[in-house]
Amino acid sequence: MAYHHGVDDVALLALLSWAADDAAEALKRSSTALVAGSASQHHSDLATDRAVLAVLQEAGLGCLSEESGFRPGVSDDALVVVVDPLDGSTNAVAQIPWYAVSLCVVDAAGPRVSLVRNLATGEEFQAVRGAGATCNGAALLSPPRRVTVLNEALVLLSGHAKVHLGWRQYRALGALALDLCAVAAGRADAYLDCSVDAHGVWDYLGGLLVAREAGIEVHDVHGRDLVILDHGARRTPVAGPAALCQQLRRAWADGAGAPLRGAE
């Protein structure tokens, strides 16, 4: 079956789930050793990538993958899946149970459906544009009150701040897609990337749709578009309730040691 813009969301999610199943099996069989000549790419990254792309390309979809770049679909207007086959590969190697396969189908209007599965625990987040997000099939509903003041917030970080930015507590867990899902689920109040343009679209897009469908804002600290199908582009995401995002954007310049660009 060739998947195209007319395919329904249920069928797309089923396809993503199939790809995630194959990624999980490939991970079990693969080596976690580094690829010869690479300081960061593991054989497990490549094995999970091959497994996911085999499913998606058989369905005729285009793919933009961290590991293998862009591969076109069967037609010029084919849907594109943004793929991180092993988000948090360092955690996977160290057997820290916070690593995932992250998949997001993009159409002309942006992220359409996404799936983020923790490959250590099996916990799975799904989202459909305009139809909400789920965790293991249960709807992610916005709690009665989300923290909106930075000094009350538990913030998930990537990288590290050079100075304390005023949060109540922080954690650095090491897998951005899962971090965004944790904020969506109310387990943490916000997310901040303290590095400078270190993340590609595959790192965050699956979690971005889950978060937005759960009522969480996700932005680039500089206000740039996060939905960009360019393997070379890098962004600096921040996520949380609107007021908390604004506070974190202002604090980011101090923490990263780099000024914000563009309008506040």
Mean local confidence (pLDDT), 6-21: 94
Average pLDDT over residues 188-194: 95
For residues 185 and 36, which has the higher predicted lDDT (pLDDT)? Answer: 185
Q: Which residue has the higher pLDDT, 31 or 139?
A: 139
What stretch of H or E contains 43? helix 43-58
Q: How confident is the model at residue 210 (pLDDT cuts 50, 70, 90)?
A: very high
What are the two backbone dihedrals, phi and then psi, of residue 128, each rounded to the nearest 5 degrees? -130, 130
Instruction: Enter the pTM of the model.
Output: 0.92
Lowest mean pLDDT among 51-65, 144-158, 169-183, 198-212: 144-158
Task: Let me know: does 221 contact 249? Beta carbons within 8 Å.
Answer: yes
Domains of the chain: 9-139 (3.30.540.10), 150-256 (3.40.190.80)
CA angle 259, 260, 263 (to 5 degrees): 140
Distance, in Å, from the CA atom of 64 to the CA atom of 84, rounded to the nearest integer, reads 9
Q: Is the pLDDT of residue 126 over 90?
A: yes
- Does residue 262 register a pLDDT over 60? no
Residues 166-188 have a mean pLDDT of 95
Residue 149 identity:
V
**Residue with structure tokens 């955690």?**
91
| Lowest-confidence pick of 2-11, 50-59, 189-198 | 2-11
Average pLDDT over residues 139-151: 84
Q: How confident is the model at residue 180 (pLDDT cuts 50, 70, 90)?
A: very high
Average pLDDT over residues 125-145: 90
Q: What does the pLDDT look like over 35-93, one tens digit per residue?
A: 666 656 678 888 999 999 999 999 999 999 998 999 988 887 789 999 999 999 899 98
Flag whether pLDDT at 264 surpasses 50: no
- Which two three-digit tokens encode residue 157? 């970080």
Residue 38, CB half-sphere, CA atoms under 13 Å: how many?
12
Residue 55 near residue 15 (C-beta atoms within 8 A): yes
Assigned token pair, 230: 């360019």
